Structure 1
Amino acid sequence: MRVGTRRSLLARTQSGQVAALIAERLGVEVELVEVVTEGDTNQTSALASLGGTGVFVSALRDALLRGDVDVAVHSLKDLPTGSFDGIALAAVPPREDPRDALVARDGLTLGELPAGSVVATGSPRRVAQLAALGLGLEIVGLRGNIDTRLGKVASGEVDGVILARAGLARIDRLDVITETLDPIQMLPAPGQGALAIECRAADAVLVSQLREALEDPFTRAAVDAERALLRTLEAGCAAPVGALAEVAEADEPGDGHQVWLRAVALAPDGGVEMRRSASGPLADAVAVGERLAQDMLDEGAARLIEEPARKQQA
């Protein structure tokens, strides 16, 4: 079985982990096939100007549809929320810690960085939430792989960078983290920390095999709620929107598990923010996300979400 992956260290590592599980649980030989995406070759332009996080996905999906690979592994937060003809999201394995993490000079936390310190991130969501904290930090843009980003701190070019904790965990670099950020301070991107396993929708047997071997129902429900919120808000990577769903036992015995979803939409400069939450039965995870998004839209979230797009067009 050929498993398609991007060429970065993180992508190859997480795809290798999935490939090992496929080999073990399906009893097949597995080969990693590297695919270059536009997001990999262009390391300078902002993701929004390249068309959003989907630039990391399209080349792998094209390879699937051509038959060059049988399975593709993505960071789930990179997947556009709409369906894609001919491609099935076959499985979502157990999620890594979805929180954001700070890597700063001298072991400092966000609260310990002096006013005027330079913190780098390529995410409008992180920029807005950092600004909303009112710490007096200078926030600058950033692209590149994990080593490139960490090197900015090591060289003294910036005082800190913010990354997804899950990526550092997967390449065994948790030791560099100086603070894991509480979601109360910074809600992660929808789907952050989770992987998406895709294959051709016509390969019904393979879809079933992958789901049975790799699917985690609690992770699937959580990311379904987060992505339903993002889809209903019609927000892309340029919109400062964060969301995190968690699955817990219902308060009443016998009611099974519930999904609890928190979300935030912010003005690009963090000057205005809207934080809301909702919950519902596990089986209604998508409806929970859609309902919360609609409530936020009814309260004016669209004005916050549309602002980045207007600025980009200008």
Structure 2
Amino acid sequence: MLRERATRLQAGRRGGGTVSVIRVGTRSSALALAQTTTVANRIANSSGSEVQIVPIVTHGDTSTDSLSSLGGTGVFASALREALLNDECDLIVHSLKDLPTDAYPGLSLGATPKRADARDVLCARSGFTLGTLPEGARVGTGSPRRVAQLLERRPDLTVVDIRGNIDTRLGRVVEGDLDAVVLAAAGLGRLGRLDAVKSELLELSAWPTAPGQGALGIEVRSGQLDRVLASALQAINHVSTEAVVSAERLVLARLEAGCAAPIGATAVLDTGLFFLTATVYSPDGTRKITSSHAATPDSHSAPHLHDAAQDVSERVATDLLAGGAAEFAPLKVTT
């Protein structure tokens, strides 16, 4: 039904008719639909237009292979981007941690709403924490970064590669197949599941998460925004979030080409300073290198924050490379 309606709307657009519906493309998972619905409602309120959600199934949603074998979490973005370029929708909503840093011809980021909690959560049976899990406990994750962090802290754990939605992963803990799983707090919060088997929120100072985690990115066709949609995107864009996640992703862009490398990054704005810390791990968690830098933006306006993001990300990436990160982590260094 949604696809048929989108096709009719597309024909109207190409025929030169005035269309008041804004079509928002998204993955079809429960989490993607939940976070996209929030964005769609805000766009509707800001624009006064009707907003239609267009679910799109991606290869990453249907394949049971590990994310690393599929080429990283960017596998979720490609189908959405092609749908946008094919005029099946007017914008698409990504989890920014899943969005490749390489530019995609014809598309650009139109807005970055305010970030949710960027932390990871250990969801364990019997209230265990990472420190109290029994020796040899089975902990599930599909993230190379989380694998490395788990093995760094607890080399005695058995880390199990898993796929599936949040309910599927939590179900494996409830059923006893796994002792714990590591999930993103933002995803649990958006689904109203933060209290599900939760035992420990992992603080960013000791457990940095993926660049962009907790933030959403709204991608649009470059140079093709009408006035109403452009105004709505400007209204929901959060300048501080845009700046800090840009700094995190710029480190990722300098160090590697995909989203699956074992890298954690955290940028924050605090008392007029722009802080960025990033850590690169070896896949087995036995080695890591960390760099931190700060900048003082002239103001919290978008141009000055953008300059600060560029500055700190360049210095952090340079430190990581000089410290030998590329020698022990699967990075593809860019120049």
Q: TM-score, normalised by structure 1?
A: 0.92
2:211 is paired with a residue whose SS is: coil
Q: Which is higher, the Rg of structure 1 or of structure 2? A: 2
1:150 maps to what in 2?
A: 170
Partner amino acid, structure 2, of 1:272: R
* Aligned mate of 1:183, from 186, 204, 228: 204
2:247 maps to what in 1?
A: 225
Aligned residues: CA RMSD: 1.4
Within-5 A mapping of 1:100-111: 100-111=120-131
Cα separation, 1, equivalents of 2:151 and 2:159: 8
- Please list the CA deviations of residues 156-207 of structure 1 after superposition, one character each: whole Å capped at 9, or x if unmatched: 0000000011000001111122110012332100000000011111214356
1:12 maps to what in 2?
A: 33
| Contact 1:235–1:305, Cα closer than 8 Å, also in 2 | no
1:304 aligns with 2:299: no
* Aligned mate of 1:291, from 315, 321, 330: 315
* CA shift for structure 1 position 237: 3.1
| Contact 2:100–2:259, Cα closer than 8 Å, also in 1 | no
| Contact 1:94–1:194, Cα closer than 8 Å, also in 2 | yes
Cα separation, 2, equivalents of 1:46 and 1:96: 26
| Contact 1:129–1:186, Cα closer than 8 Å, also in 2 | yes
- What fraction of aligned residue pairs are identical, expressed as a percent? 50
2:288 maps to what in 1?
A: 273
Cα separation, 2, equivalents of 1:287 and 1:47: 31
- Please list the CA deviations of residues 64-99 of structure 1 after superposition, one character each: whole Å capped at 9, or x if unmatched: 111010110010111110111111100000000000
Cα separation, 2, equivalents of 1:36 and 1:60: 8
Question: Unpaired runs of 5+ in structure 1?
Answer: 251-257, 310-314
* CA shift for structure 1 position 284: 1.6
2:160 maps to what in 1?
A: 140
| Contact 1:130–1:186, Cα closer than 8 Å, also in 2 | no
2:294 is paired with a residue whose SS is: strand
| Contact 1:246–1:259, Cα closer than 8 Å, also in 2 | yes
| Contact 1:129–1:185, Cα closer than 8 Å, also in 2 | no
| Contact 1:120–1:161, Cα closer than 8 Å, also in 2 | yes
| Contact 2:142–2:162, Cα closer than 8 Å, also in 1 | yes
2:18 maps to what in 1?
A: none
2:100 maps to what in 1?
A: 80
* Aligned mate of 1:215, from 237, 245, 270: 237
- Please list the CA deviations of residues 260-302 of structure 1 after superposition, one character each: whole Å capped at 9, or x if unmatched: 1111111111111112211113342122112211111011111
